[in-house]
Structure 1
Amino acid sequence: MFKQSVSQIAAAGMGGKVAVRSFSVGAVIRSNIGKAPIRLGEGIECYTESIPYEFSKRFTKGSQVITLDKHIVVKGPKGVLRSIVPNFIEVENKDGLVSVSVPDAKDKIQRSMWGTTRALLNNNVIGVTEGHLAIVKFVGTGYRATIEDLANGKKQVVLKIGYPYMPALEVPEGLTVTSPNPTRLIIEGINKHTVTQFASKIREFKKPEPYKGKGIYVNDETIKLKEKKIK
């Protein structure tokens, strides 16, 4: 006795007519962010600089060796930013519009670096014109931060977050940290990566806990509170 297939059973139940069920397969939707041009404001410059071979960095991705031998330089009222990119990234500045492209958009590595480079370049353009900022909030009884001057002329952020000691972090070069009130810090700078990285370092000392919500929050960060387990 042979087993009946699903289609045969369906045909028997429908008077010999077989209902074909089609499975919809959606196409992969890509953001195509790499194709979007970036508009430069007045007084903003964007160009590329070659890095000599002996100073170029290299890394291996799969079977390919990627060479980072090019700088994308963005100049603006607030400063200058440089991003190191692979040799296959092409940047064109025409009539105040900067476009990023790659020779082979079907290549997985080139396609991924295409969008990444465009996003970094856009962050740099915003940084040299408007700047980036991160807001650090302290939630908890007695939690606060102060800014102190160091002997070398730099500043440091001192945290009071319930420990028997007070952690201190020196403010990195290129960043400005202000405190409108003891439970708030505003970190400003032209490099978005540096701004967010310093904010995350501060947050590491007291991550938000899920029961009382106490801790250090960055920007619009929220957490879902849990109920305490009662034995």
Structure 2
Amino acid sequence: MSRIGKKPVELPKGVSASISGQTIEVKGPKGTRSFTAGDDVTITLEGTTVKVTPRGLSKRARQQWGMTRSMVSNLVVGVTEGFKKDLEIQGVGYRAAMAGNVLKLSLGYSHEVNFEVPKGVTVSSPKQTEIVVEGIDQQLVGQVAANIREWKRPEPYKGKGIRYKDEYIFRKEGKKK
């Protein structure tokens, strides 16, 4: 039995859900999101709770059970609170600035890196060394943050680069004489 799958998803005030077939659509203050579940699970709406149950006892149905419940829960969290990833830049002369819909990064290259921000995500730079990625789609927020980080990953000797706010970088010792 799935411990995650057994828990019903509560819909907070101001959030409504509608189910048509295997697709659930959740509307909230921040927007609308939808998810289409596989044929191995059944999604039911009972009042202000959404329940997910497996169709059978096959291994695939049990796998999809918990995953589908997590996806529905993420839809609800996305339309109420939203998702956020904080990045920080470390290094002398490394900085970020927003110019319209483009994030301009100075990362020690001979040129400035221009990162086009996709739709559905807002990127801001409150300080020159901080980048905040926000949106209602958890997967898209994480992917955009990973794409920004990919331009200059933190290196293990001095720690220079773009890192997540809570990320620990294992530091190596330099050469000895």
User: How do 1:45-124 residues align onto structure 2 when only pairs under 5 Å count?
Assistant: 45-50=16-21, 70-104=22-56, 106-124=57-75
Is 1:172 the counterpart of 2:118? The answer is yes
Letter in 1 for 2:119: E
Q: What TM-score do you get using the length of structure 2 for normalisation?
A: 0.93
Letter in 2 for 1:123: N
* Whole-angstrom distance in 1 between the partners of 2:11 and 2:142: 24
The number of residue pairs the alignment matches comes to 177
Is 1:206 the counterpart of 2:177? The answer is no
Q: Paired residue for 1:197?
A: 143
User: How do 1:127-146 residues align onto structure 2 when only pairs under 5 Å count?
Assistant: 127-146=78-97
CA contact (8 A) 2:9 2:49 kept: yes
Q: Paired residue for 2:7?
A: 36
CA contact (8 A) 1:200 1:218 kept: no
* Whole-angstrom distance in 2 between the partners of 1:84 and 1:130: 22
Is the alpha carbon distance of 1:219 and 1:114 closer, same or farther for their aligned partners in structure 2, counting shifts above 3 Å?
farther
- Could you tell me which runs of 5 or more consecutive residues in structure 1 were left unpaired when the two chains were aligned: 1-29, 51-69, 150-154
Is 1:186 the counterpart of 2:157? The answer is no
CA contact (8 A) 1:132 1:188 kept: yes
Is the alpha carbon distance of 1:223 and 1:34 closer, same or farther for their aligned partners in structure 2, counting shifts above 3 Å?
same
* Whole-angstrom distance in 2 between the partners of 1:87 and 1:112: 12
- Could you tell me which runs of 5 or more consecutive residues in structure 2 were left unpaired when the two chains were aligned: none
* Whole-angstrom distance in 2 between the partners of 1:230 and 1:107: 58
Q: What TM-score do you get using the length of structure 1 for normalisation?
A: 0.72
With a CA cutoff of 8 Å and minimum separation of 6, indicate the structure with the bigger relative contact order. Answer: 2
Letter in 1 for 2:133: I
* Whole-angstrom distance in 2 between the partners of 1:196 and 1:173: 14
What is the CA distance between 1:159 and its match in structure 2?
Answer: 0.9
Is 1:230 the counterpart of 2:176? The answer is yes
Cα deviation code 1:152-194 (max 9, x no counterpart) = xxx0111111111112111111211111110011111111111
What secondary structure sits across from 2:125 in the alignment? strand
CA contact (8 A) 1:71 1:82 kept: yes
Q: Which has more radius of gyration?
A: 1
What is the CA distance between 1:31 and its match in structure 2?
Answer: 6.0
CA contact (8 A) 2:17 2:26 kept: yes
Q: Paired residue for 2:99?
A: 148
Letter in 1 for 2:139: H
Is the alpha carbon distance of 1:31 and 1:206 closer, same or farther for their aligned partners in structure 2, counting shifts above 3 Å?
farther
